[in-house]
Amino acid sequence: MEWYKKKPEDLYTELQTDPKKGLTQETAEYVLLKHGSNELREEEKKSLAAKLIEQFKDPLIIILILASIVSAFLGDYVEAVIIIAIVIINAVLSLYQEGKAEQAIEALQKMSSPNAKVIRDGVEQSLPSSKIVPGDLIRLETGDIVPADIRLIESANLKIDESSLTGESVPVEKDASVVYQDTIEIGDRENYAYSSTIVSYGRGMGIAVETGHGTEIGKIATTIQSYEDEQTPLQKKLTELSKLLGLIVVGVCIVVVILGLFYKHEIYEMFLMAISLAVAAIPEGLAAIVTIVLSLGMGRMAERNAIVKKLLAVETLGTTTVICSDKTGTLTQNEMTVTKALVDDKVVEVEGTGYEPLGNIVYDGHEVEDGEFSSLFTLMSIAMLANDAKLEKHGNMYQMIGDPTEGSLITFAGKKNLEKSKMEADYPRIDEIPFDSERKMMSTFHKNFLPGKIVSFTKGAPDLILERCTHKLVDGKVVELSQKDRQDIMDTNSEFALQALRVLAFAFRSYDSMPIEVDHEHIERDMIFVGLTGMIDPARPEAKDAIAECKSAGITPIMITGDYLETAYAIGRDLGISSSEEDAIMGRELNAMSTEEIREIVKKKRIFARVSPENKVQIVTALKENGHIAAMTGDGVNDAPAIKKADIGISMGITGTDVAKNTSDVILTDDNFATIVNAVEEGRIIYSNIKKFVSFLLSCNIGEVLIVFIAILINVPLPLTPIQLLWLNLVTDSFPALALGVEQGEEDIMNQPPRDPNEAIIDKKTGFSIAVQAIAITAATLGAYFYGMKVYGSGSEGSRMMAFSTLITAELLRAYSARSSHFTLARIGVLSNRFMVYATGLSFGLLLLVLYIPFLRDIFNVIVPSAMDWAVIIGFALIPMLAGEIKKAITQKQYLKAE
């Protein structure tokens, strides 16, 4: 219901409350039973058993379980145990990493106000916020957390910090007297206060109109609950691959048995061989290696200040095509900063950002020396003394307490070594006229600033201050304010405003003694104008470079903010997100658009200003429907639904609310937008490595299948026994594949566009490479086998030793070639991946154990190879690697030319 449109008297009737006494206790208890408590219901959590069952729904995991059963049936209990261990480890790792995932609703509950000032039966009392009901009369004071959505009925200089809900970078002025006829966006409702926002200034009174899930924050909670977790791109591709492998396995079994029977092989022998080939065709290490590689990637990302909460989110980052970023606190510092000032008729630049009082005052390219601008001290004194904020230092951090605008003025004065505590001691405040949203200024009275005089310092809106000034201070002298002076000052004000600066004016007046009538009508007139300041929540210095890197990587950055269009565009232009005002749009314009129109508008616009949480979700949804992999970054409650909806949700670790953190997939511990780019790079490397070891595993496994298939087809004794197949599959599928998973990224990985989200893991290029390598491995192994048949006889232990040794060696050498898809070993370095050296060394050592330990030779039906045998084995084994390197040497030239 649009409560902000209702007049207070209508509220009293509709909610059965009294404007002075509030609800009766009896009525409040009845309403509580009707509406329920003022808290957010937690979504029912899945049990551990349900989560565990989900881990085993993956088709690849099901195939692995079947493979373990087959291995046990064949008597290879070691293989069966290893496969089951892989499945269990994979499930445990996934559950452990994702165990903390969905706590967003709990975090929303934590944000609720523990107590509220409520008037019931005419008596003010402190009640737990959970007991607040619609119709309750609520009192608000500075520092209070608003306990429910409230239609204000009284306000006195009331300002509320709504940044966590709307993204507005400064507290919002409230006015209870306003009544709206038209629909007003969340961030513009002056007569309304939202649950969980904070009163930063003044006081007010209001009627609670919405509680629990009816509040704006409650709607966000409901929205978060309604979104189902979607499969990541990698999950989808691995599922597709698993189904394909399942079909291949079934096909292999059928074809081998049929061919075997056709050539009159024994049924049992063919059955064992078919089952062995089926096990060999399944890369049982794939699921575990993917999990391990993603876990290692999580560790590397943590070292680069990005904590990844879900394993598969690591890879999803690498597929990102668009990053939607909140402005306040993400692209900007969430610390108002004075950047320009008008003093002595000159505009000076103010260096430094944030609340730390460091930075120079610069004019015409040089630092302003003490005394160079004689009116600067007066300007800074007014800025610091007509000010209710405090700036505290905690270690190396500065914390602002109070209004951020006033905090920036204290920092501004601090850049000329002025300290508020000392200034207040030297020039004590003796009275004040508080800020009023109607006259838009405040005044304070001080003694000792001018010898024998009382002065009033006034700050406020430039146009209103200027109307009340008759003179100005220039070079330390008071001169009459001419019409031209007024126009020049307003021109400067306009220039500041066009740069999206928030502008304040400063003036003073002196008295021989304290005025009798201390009110704005008598005091705030005939003043002396001193100057202007322009302030903004500045962009993070590193964000501009990060955005440029995003663009070079083919990623589109988009700003989505609750701030006004002018401010958002100024920041976006400064950061390089946009170059024209045509790129920007107001959120309210989206409300009148259809889903199709929004899908079109997100193709063109790069800045979305004054948006609601619903608008953010609309934007992210439209981008996803357009085929993008969308990342959403933010720090406030207002960002949480879009963070949840995005393919990859990213929150700020320092300034982020618990809601944003617990809803997101990734938390940036340094709140640095540049860290997102690092995470994207890591994600791309991980996906590239996954493709490498999938390609490696499949080329080797398909080669094994082809070797046996061709042998049956041409009716020669089988080159490999079932136990040999299972052993070489175990040796070559594990360690080298894992080493490929920790390969360094290609040197050009961030100069490539994001991959097509619809691209399969096995695309045409990869599929062709797998086919070529599988054929090369098959040819090499059969070549060595036929040599062995000639030397040792058909179907002998010697001929099978030649096939067995050549196949393992060829696959290990093939692993080196698989380290890059387009750069040769000569360019990347044969020994640059030490894990590959260890992995292949270990696997080759296991081969040697089988060949040279007598009882193992008997089990595997092989003989000790001669020196000549080793020469032939190595010669044939080099064929697949050389074929890959020759292909890459040609491809590498194309890449280097493109550079």
Backbone angles phi, psi at 467, to 5 degrees: -60, -30
Please count the other Cβ atoms lying within 10 Å of the Cβ belonging to residue 761: 20
- The amino acid present at 811, given as its one-letter code, is E
Please count the other Cβ atoms lying within 10 Å of the Cβ belonging to residue 494: 12
Q: Which two tokens stand for residue 792?
A: 């040792």
Q: Give percent helix, percent strand, percent coil of the chain, each to the nearest 5.
A: 50, 20, 30
Helix (H) or strand (E) holding 519: none
H helices of 440-540, where? 462-467, 483-498, 520-523
Report yes or no: 554 and 753 within 8 Å, Cβ to Cβ: yes
**Cα gap 669→659, rounded to integer Å:** 15
Nearest to 66 by CA among 304, 278, 350, 328: 278
H helices of 417-555, where? 420-426, 462-467, 483-498, 520-523, 541-552
Nearest to 263 by CA among 722, 716, 718, 715: 715
b/e map 542-580, b = 16+ CB within 10 Å: ebbebbebbeebebbbbbbbbbbbbbbbbbbbbbbbbee
H helices of 818-833, where? 825-828
**Cα gap 334→96, rounded to integer Å:** 34
Q: Which of 76, 136, 326, 403 is catalytic?
A: 326
**Cα gap 362→346, rounded to integer Å:** 11
Beta pairing partners, 399: 392
Report yes or no: 646 and 324 within 8 Å, Cβ to Cβ: yes
**Owner of token pair 């597709």:** 240
Please count the other Cβ atoms lying within 10 Å of the Cβ belonging to residue 663: 32
Q: Which two tokens stand for residue 837?
A: 């050296």
Task: Please indicate whether residue 671 is annotated as part of the active site.
Answer: no
Active centre residues (catalytic) = 326
